[in-house]
Each structure stands twice: as structure tokens, then as C-alpha cells.
């Protein structure tokens, strides 16, 4: 009798419904402490439920990984899940160029200084604010140019 309602809640991610149903069916067992905990539990159950469509199981797999929870999706389905919901990644592009052969060595040092700053920021924070990364990169650029070339009147680096 309750199995159809459990499946409906699982299929639709009905947090309020699953909390009411769980309290009614199993009041003697621990209950979710928050909606977020109930949602995580639904996603976890979805990844292992063969009766749930693959697309929904794949979505739950990505949600769990993005929210630092383990996924119960079988290994055989993980490649398909990664194709449907790929892992987001961040990147930083740094390019410092000059046509002058005299300045080329300077641009390489400036590029390295900017890269070093980015590496340090990502070492301290796996998901930094892009505006902060840009600010520190541009500070490293300016500082390195000034160290190598000195202050040039009328030139804003």
C-alpha cells in the first residue's frame, strides 16, 4: 500500500511527502533532521533504485556529487551519467604577448607571475570567485612589470 507512495516521492523528489510517509510508516526509526537531509536521502535512494528512469538517476548522481554526498549509482551507469551531466570545471586563461624580441623575456616572466598567483589561489580555495582571481592576476602583472621595467612615465600598466 505504501510502496506506490514511496515510489512516487522518490520519482518526483517530494521531500514533504517522504517526510510525512516515513514518519507514518517508521516512527521508531530516525527521521530526517532537515529538508536538505531528506532531499539527499531521496537522491541517494534514486541512484540505486532500478525502478527509476536512468535520466533521473543520473541527475541524482550529479546532485549528490555536487553537494559532497556519495552516490550509489552502479559503476556500469556512471559513464552515461557523466555524459548526460558532466562535471563542471573552471579554467583561467593567461596570455601575455609582445611583438618586440626585447620584451619577450619580460612577458614570459609576467605570465609566470600571473600563473603562480592563480595556482596559489586555487591551492587555498577550490572554488574561488573569478573576480578575486582576476584582481590578483592583474596585481601580479602590474607588480612584475614595474619590478622588471620600472615606472615608465605616461604608461599605465
Is the CB of residue 118 less than 8 Å from the CB of residue 92? yes
- Residue 116's pLDDT is 95
Return d(Cα 123, Cα 126) in angstroms, integer: 7
- pLDDT tens across 87-133, in order? 877 788 999 998 988 889 999 999 999 999 999 998 988 778 889 99
Per-residue model confidence (pLDDT) at position 42: 96
Among residues 122, 112, 121, 120, which one has the least CA distance to residue 143? 112
**pLDDT, tens digit (0-9, with 9 covering 90-100), for 40-91:** 999 999 999 999 999 999 999 999 999 999 999 999 999 999 999 998 777 8
Amino acid at each position: 500500500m505504501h510502496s506506490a507512495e514511496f515510489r512516487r516521492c522518490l520519482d518526483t523528489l517530494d521531500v514533504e511527502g517522504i517526510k510525512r510517509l516515513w514518519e507514518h510508516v517508521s516512527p521508531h526509526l530516525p527521521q530526517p533532521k532537515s529538508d536538505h537531509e531528506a532531499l539527499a536521502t531521496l537522491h541517494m535512494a534514486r541512484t540505486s533504485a532500478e525502478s527509476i528512469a536512468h535520466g533521473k538517476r543520473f541527475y541524482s548522481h550529479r546532485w549528490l556529487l555536487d553537494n559532497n554526498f556519495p552516490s550509489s549509482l552502479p559503476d556500469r551507469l556512471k559513464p552515461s551519467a557523466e555524459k548526460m551531466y558532466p562535471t563542471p570545471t573552471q579554467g583561467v586563461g593567461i596570455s601575455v604577448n609582445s611583438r618586440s624580441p626585447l620584451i619577450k623575456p619580460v612577458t614570459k616572466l609576467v605570465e609566470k607571475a600571473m600563473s603562480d598567483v592563480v595556482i596559489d589561489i586555487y591551492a587555498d580555495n577550490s572554488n574561488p570567485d573569478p573576480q578575486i582571481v582576476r584582481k590578483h592576476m592583474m596585481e601580479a602583472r602590474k607588480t612584475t612589470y614595474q619590478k622588471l621595467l620600472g615606472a615608465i612615465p605616461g604608461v599605465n600598466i
